[in-house]
Amino acid sequence: MHQINKELSEIFHELSSIYRFKGSEHRFRTEAYEKAAIVLEHLPEDIREYM
């Protein structure tokens, strides 16, 4: 995994955890951040290649 992808993935995992802690009214945001983290973890290239 590319370093930038790893760092961004960790940030999205942290955001997901924060919203999970804040409660069920944020469940869609929690899921979105978690899915983004997983996508970043599985990208074959550096995320900057897609920009």
* Domain spans of the chain, in order of start: 3-45
* Residue-level pLDDT, tens digit, the chain, 51 residues: 899 999 999 999 999 999 999 998 999 999 999 999 999 999 999 999 998
CB atoms within 10 A of CB 30: 19
pTM of the model: 0.88
Q: Which residues contact 26 (CB under 8 A, 6 or more apart)?
A: 19, 20
| C-beta of residue 38 within 8 angstroms of C-beta of residue 7 | no
Measured in whole angstroms, the distance separating CA 38 from the mean position of its chain's CA atoms is: 6
Report pLDDT for 29.
95
